Structure 1
Amino acid sequence: MSAVVLLPTGKALTVRTAADAFLDSLANPNTVRNYGIAVGKTAERIGEGRPLVSVADDEIGEALELLWGGSAVNTWNARRGAVLSWTGWCSERGYDGPSVPVWAKRLAAPDSDTPVRSKMAIDRLIARRDVHLREKTLWRMLYETCARSEEVLDVNIEDLDLAGRRCPVKAKGAQPKVRRRGVTRADFVLETVFWDAGAARLLPRLLKGRTRGPVFVTHRRPGPGKVLSARGVCPDTGLARLSYGQARALLDQHTALAGPGTGWDLHEWRHSSLTHLGERGASLLMLMAKSRHKKAENVRRCFKPSAEAIAEVTSLLAPGDARR
């Protein structure tokens, strides 16, 4: 059972106080040491004595860029992940503060190989009794739509076509990218994603009669000083949209075997679903249509057939009487 960390009340929570409270909540000494480097240096950069509520999202991103923008990909991802956990931890406890901005993205290492999970492993994870209905629904939708995590998390109930099992998502566009403050940003377009019976069974249970607001929301209301867009808050419950960082931490919590940060990644749902469709005989063009990739080589990077699938297709080359 994790220790309960009480943050000070009756005064503005400072950056340093929030950082120390987060690090004190971690049980693993190795995690404390590694996270302490990222959180500590970021806190120093943005100002330890400042009220946490006064820090803007872009300040967090700029601090990460200045501190580790020129580092190796794995270093950037580790430091960014630690700060993401810190800001998500504060948000979950109702303390107003910044988030890691969308443009400060996790980078794919040149030598990385995103794992593909078996369909059995996916079904077992989603069927676990200790997994909340919200996570079950999110993971099933990510798997069945082959959509990017940010796309699904941004969906509102008004966007859903429950009968048609589809909805529009705000996807990366093919338009030229623009640069702002030295950061590359992409335009966005609306595209449609489709899901199947698994998500179709879970969605009505998750919504519980709600007809508007974000599909996936937090379990706690945001603090009184938190500034959120009208689209990002359920008007009926007051609950805020579940963030990418929170969703990533929840998946890690249920799949990590060797401590925080060692579990599944949200992007694995997309790779797994595309691979399973390919193993079942879906053509390259159909995989591109399903995933909405514009280039065939990007789909090929996602397609990682299992040894069993390769062995099965190899059997087709056997002599005519070898399969009798």
Structure 2
Amino acid sequence: MPDAASPSPASLSPGPSTVASAVAHFLDSLRAATTRTGYARTLARLTAVTGAHHPVAELEPEHYAGVMAAWDTAAAGTWNRHLSALVSFTTWAQRQDLLATNPARRLTRRATVRRDDRAIPADLLEKLFTDDRHPLRERVLWRLLYETAARAEEILALNVEDLDPELRRARVRSKGGGIEHVHWATAAARLLPRLLQGRQAGPVFLADRRAPTSGRRAPAAADICPVTGRGRLSYPRAEHLFKTASAGLDPHGEGWTLHQLRHSALTHLAAAGRTAPELQAKSRHQHLSSLGRYVRLGDETAARITAEHDPAARRRPR
């Protein structure tokens, strides 16, 4: 007969019964580092709203509404991104038999308004990239995002060890969790050594201040530069800096998003005549159908293709 004073197996391993522990288990279950980083911000807000020790089984729609209130005035895409994090966490918790209800049931995705000019004109991008009033860190980041057509999360997650300057490429963890390579051109290759200044390890893009070494805001060791002690530049900060810097060039005066650099790169390549398989190789989309949102060449291209492939067209003399 076990000693009455000895702890039971359940007390030794309580499992993810609180919001904080459930969030930690959920994030650990995600393979893709970029997804994990994006979801972590939303779920940190959930923990703050409910309290770390709140039972995950007692989550209510009011808790989720409190989380999403932080993004009430944000763009529809931002709202939908944070809502997706909550929905994914809810689905996981239900599969683990931690949650019997759906606290997200009163929340709905918002309709996004697509503008026809989401691709930034190349001349405006060049003007932005070459403006020495902007810090070197930002200009290198913008160049890399455009020249690689990579996702912002992938480039911000780069460490110096991931770079291959000789081949002008870097190793990234893709959206699906796999290891892939992105490639850049001459302009970024010329700027990168100035940014790194001989650093051999740590994040490529560093925050402005030294990272705290302890406490709730202390980052993981992998996100701290071993030379400067500064942490990794965050997506929200990088996005804010880009929107602020580009507001004067944006005809709408709102400033552009980091994702528009990827969109612009693919759109410009398509306009230059690159085929869909070539664009897929550059963007690393799993399906060709996904490229439709980036590539809209318009009536002129459709007319030219039709005319060039018209069987009744007069053959050109050799």
TM-score, normalised on structure 1? 0.61
Q: 1:233 and 1:277, CA in 2 relative to 1: closer, same or farther beyond 3 A?
A: same
| 107-116 vs 134-143, which moves further | 107-116
Q: Residue 157 of structure 2 aligns with which residue?
A: 154
Match of residue 171, structure 2, among 168, 173, 178: 168
Q: Residue 112 of structure 1 aligns with which residue?
A: 114
Write the distance in 2 (CA, Å) between the matches of 1:317 and 1:212. Answer: 53
**Which structure has the larger Rg over C-alpha atoms?**
2
Q: Residue 59 of structure 1 aligns with which residue?
A: 44
The amino acid that maps onto 2:45 is: I
Write the distance in 2 (CA, Å) between the matches of 1:160 and 1:108. Answer: 38
Q: Is the 8 A contact 1:276 1:305 kept in 2?
A: no
Q: 1:284 and 1:80, CA in 2 relative to 1: closer, same or farther beyond 3 A?
A: closer
Match of residue 74, structure 2, among 67, 73, 77: 77
Residue 299, structure 1, aligned to residue 284, structure 2: no
Q: 1:112 and 1:131, CA in 2 relative to 1: closer, same or farther beyond 3 A?
A: same
Residue 207, structure 1, aligned to residue 196, structure 2: yes
Q: 1:137 and 1:311, CA in 2 relative to 1: closer, same or farther beyond 3 A?
A: farther
Q: 1:243-292: per-residue Cα shift (whole Å, max 9, x none)?
A: 0001001001111249xx92101110111000111111111011111101
3-state SS of 1:140 partner: helix
Match of residue 229, structure 1, among 220, 227, 247: 220
Per-residue deviation at 1:132? 0.7
Alpha-carbon RMSD? 3.7
Write the distance in 1 (CA, Å) between the matches of 2:229 and 2:42. Answer: 22
Q: 1:142 and 1:109, CA in 2 relative to 1: closer, same or farther beyond 3 A?
A: farther
3-state SS of 1:120 partner: helix
Q: 1:246 and 1:131, CA in 2 relative to 1: closer, same or farther beyond 3 A?
A: same
Q: Residue 23 of structure 2 aligns with which residue?
A: none
Write the distance in 2 (CA, Å) between the matches of 1:161 and 1:284. Answer: 27
Structure 1: 5+ residue stretches without partners: 1-55, 83-99, 174-187
Write the distance in 2 (CA, Å) between the matches of 1:70 and 1:219. Answer: 29
Q: Tell me the number of residue pairs that the alignment of Structure 1 and Structure 2 aligns.
A: 231
TM-score, normalised on structure 2? 0.62
Residue 242, structure 1, aligned to residue 244, structure 2: no
Write the distance in 2 (CA, Å) between the matches of 1:313 and 1:80. Answer: 34
Per-residue deviation at 1:312? 7.7
Percent identity, aligned pairs only, is 37
Q: 1:306 and 1:210, CA in 2 relative to 1: closer, same or farther beyond 3 A?
A: farther
Per-residue deviation at 1:70? 9.8
Per-residue deviation at 1:77? 3.3
Write the distance in 1 (CA, Å) between the matches of 2:131 and 2:299. Answer: 27
| 107-116 vs 245-254, which moves further | 107-116
3-state SS of 1:77 partner: coil
Q: Residue 218 of structure 1 aligns with which residue?
A: 207
Match of residue 279, structure 2, among 262, 287, 298: 287
3-state SS of 1:192 partner: strand
Q: Residue 139 of structure 2 aligns with which residue?
A: 136
Q: Is the 8 A contact 2:263 2:294 kept in 1?
A: yes
Q: 1:314 and 1:132, CA in 2 relative to 1: closer, same or farther beyond 3 A?
A: farther
Q: Residue 196 of structure 1 aligns with which residue?
A: 185
